[in-house]
Structure 1
Amino acid sequence: MASDAQPVSAKTPVTLREVAASAGVSVATASKALNGQGRMTAETRERIRETAQRLGFRPNSLAQSLLRRRSFTVGLLTNDTYGRFSLPVMSGISDALVDKGVSVFLCNVEDDKRLGQLHVDAMLDKRVDGIIATGKRIDRHLPVDLSNLGVPVIYAFTQPDPGAVAFVSDDAGGARLAVEHFCRLGRRRIAHVTGPASFAVVHARAQAYRDVLTEKGLPVMEPLLGSWSEAWGHEAVKKLFDGKLSKSGDEKPDAVFCGNDQIARGVIDALRERGLGVPDDVGVI
């Protein structure tokens, strides 16, 4: 059935000239007011801004980019769009940049070198002002070469290029703080349950754990390495309380330093199943 309805035409964008005319100022004055530049009274600047908002004026971002030689866009590369830690990092990056008028161009490179290069090329074609690279592991590099791109590159929680700016967690320092906290609470038999040996963070934390106990003259139990899972935390408690893992004999732990939250949940569940209180009987971090 034929329709007599006419297509709805797109609304013509409001121009800077229309804003200026409505506010009763020159185009140059309107431009300066909207860009936070020029000398004028606060009342005039506010009147121009209110007029622009009322009319629905939106600056031409392409023209502004050409004028300022900036795209006001930052590329965010990651191979971990589902990570429990990567997502908050990416959200924080986006929030901070949006507050500065900068848009975020997010690309998931997965673990595909070809896909990663395609995304980097697209970012450079869009003239991004810089690139932030974040990933699953600090001891693994993203599958793409980010050196010599001609734009600033910052790494967060992924292996950086030599000499690059990078934000990483202090795993040894964090482990030291955790074990020292247990020591201040009077705990003397502190165990460590953590993830697989293939992770660099596991070795950094385990060494800090050993160092603190040695410095305090306390018995060192060999760290238990397994998966990053609740099931492993549950199994580790059985090893700790049903075996003889302490070098000082068969005394049971009064504290457990865990490698992540999942392990800690498994440890806590297993302790409570044994009738042990957390943290009264056994402290858990």
Structure 2
Amino acid sequence: MNIREFAAHCKLSIASVSRALNNPPETAQMSRKTYDYVHAEARELGYRPNYHARAFHTHRSGCVGIIGGSSMKYIGIALLEGIADVLDDRGIATYLASTRDEIEREAGAFDRMFYRNVDAIIHMPALQEGEYRTDRLAGLLKNNPGHPPILSILGGAEIPGTFRLRMKDAEAGREAALRQLKLGCRRFGVIGTLRRSPAENDGIRAYRNTLFENGVSPLNIREISIRHNFPDSRQEELRDIDGAWIVYYLLVPTCFQVLRRVCDPKKLHIDTVSTLENRELLLWLQLDADCALSIRDHFASLNIFQYSVYRIGVQTGETVVKLINAPALKPYTQELEWNQFLPGITGPETAAPDSPE
């Protein structure tokens, strides 16, 4: 049965049947009664539209590409669930490519998605040592002027011609520095990872620059990058610090024993960033009963800028649908408030970002 025969069976126009089958009810431009009737008849007859024909006539593949770095290991499930909950309802499929934080693989993933004519691309940049390098991707996009809209998320890189959806990472770093200065901190530590996203670099840069702007000498700011373990040779650099910016909440347990060894934790104020999913996972695993369950109690203060990866995924899906349906939109950056993605969870570690507690 083709669409013409199915429309005749429903006693509706081909256009009406097509709108019902290819759109969610809120954009199908018909009554909900008619919309439900068309879908009920399609189920009864086992009718499914020919998506190859649809793609040919609409010039859309009905597929969105997702390109992710190694951060997908930590947030992938929740992020993909949020994206899928939006796209699945609209009949949009996804095509996932992992970069393993390799620039060549990242560029190759873009090239393959251009070839497959995806309707949009969601891009989570590969983690890199130092600043994120955009020259290869910028050249690839320049050579493909008709590329689909690209949405760079969670610290998305500033690549010309792309959209960005991100948290206010620079604002978090700035607020952390001001909070610690207000509490009387004078010696500071920055603890990050060797491979970082653009967002993490933004937070570190803002934290460091805010300290400089408020008269802190570079000699009183120690920056250390670690992998999974804290190197013995670098521990003394954090001796007697009283303020710290730690790029991930998951690094706090890794650093805990070192910080307790080289400074007085009860005089140490820490600011960090965490997804709600990772924080809950850490507490559930109880990696260290001495610190995971009551880690805040070991420091003078521990302030966490939190967000929900699932809700970021939902926002990502909704934004991608908007970009697909409005191809004339000019690239823009949307920054999301931290507390915008805090569900109603209570507890000592959900204090507002500017709280000294």
Q: Is the 8 A contact 1:237 1:267 kept in 2?
A: no
Equivalent position of 2:142 in the other structure: 147
Q: Where do 1:263-282 residues align within 5 Å? A: 263-271=251-259, 276-277=265-266, 278-279=296-297, 281-282=299-300
Q: Is the 8 A contact 1:191 1:256 kept in 2?
A: yes
* 1:26 Cα deviation from its structure 2 partner: 4.8
User: Residue 231 of structure 1 aligns to a residue in which SS?
Assistant: coil
**Superposition RMSD in Å:** 4.2
TM-score normalized by the length of structure 1: 0.66
Equivalent position of 1:136 in the other structure: 126
Q: Is the 8 A contact 1:34 1:48 kept in 2?
A: yes
In structure 2, distance between residues paired with 1:94 and 1:57: 24
* 1:276 Cα deviation from its structure 2 partner: 4.3
Q: Is the 8 A contact 1:192 1:256 kept in 2?
A: yes
* 1:113 Cα deviation from its structure 2 partner: 3.4
Q: Which stretch of the first structure deviates more once superposed, 97-106 or 198-207?
A: 198-207
In structure 2, distance between residues paired with 1:15 and 1:85: 42
In structure 2, distance between residues paired with 1:42 and 1:198: 50
Q: Is the 8 A contact 1:257 1:284 kept in 2?
A: no
Equivalent position of 1:224 in the other structure: 223
* 1:50 Cα deviation from its structure 2 partner: 1.6
Equivalent position of 2:189 in the other structure: 192
User: Residue 84 of structure 1 aligns to a residue in which SS?
Assistant: helix
User: Residue 179 of structure 1 aligns to a residue in which SS?
Assistant: helix
Which residue among 44, 55, 76 is the counterpart of 2:45?
55
* 1:139 Cα deviation from its structure 2 partner: 0.8
Q: Which stretch of the first structure deviates more once superposed, 159-168 or 63-72?
A: 159-168
User: Residue 253 of structure 2 aligns to a residue in which SS?
Assistant: helix
TM-score normalized by the length of structure 2: 0.55
In structure 1, distance between residues paired with 2:29 and 2:158: 45
Structure 2's unaligned 5+ residue stretches are 267-295, 304-357
Q: Which stretch of the first structure deviates more once superposed, 92-101 or 66-75?
A: 92-101
The structure that is helix-richer by fraction is 2
Number of residues of Structure 1 aligned to a counterpart in Structure 2: 258
* 1:114 Cα deviation from its structure 2 partner: 7.5
Equivalent position of 1:180 in the other structure: 178
In structure 1, distance between residues paired with 2:136 and 2:169: 24
Question: In the TM superposition, what whole-angstrom CA distance separates every residue of 1:128-183 from its partner, at most 9, and x where no partner exists?
Answer: 22333332236134966233321234234454543543445654332112222334
Tell me, yes or no, if structure 1 residue 113 matches structure 2 residue 104. yes
* 1:47 Cα deviation from its structure 2 partner: 2.5
Q: Is the 8 A contact 2:191 2:224 kept in 1?
A: yes
* 1:105 Cα deviation from its structure 2 partner: 1.4
Tell me, yes or no, if structure 1 residue 72 matches structure 2 residue 89. no
Q: Is the 8 A contact 1:86 1:134 kept in 2?
A: no
In structure 2, distance between residues paired with 1:42 and 1:225: 59
Equivalent position of 1:212 in the other structure: 210
Tell me, yes or no, if structure 1 residue 258 matches structure 2 residue 246. yes
Output the amino acid matched with 2:191: T
User: Residue 256 of structure 2 aligns to a residue in which SS?
Assistant: helix
User: Residue 223 of structure 1 aligns to a residue in which SS?
Assistant: strand
Task: State the percentage of identical aligned residues.
Answer: 23
Structure 1's unaligned 5+ residue stretches are 1-13, 242-251
Output the amino acid matched with 1:55: L
Q: Is the 8 A contact 1:74 1:102 kept in 2?
A: yes
In structure 2, distance between residues paired with 1:215 and 1:38: 54
Output the amino acid matched with 1:139: Y
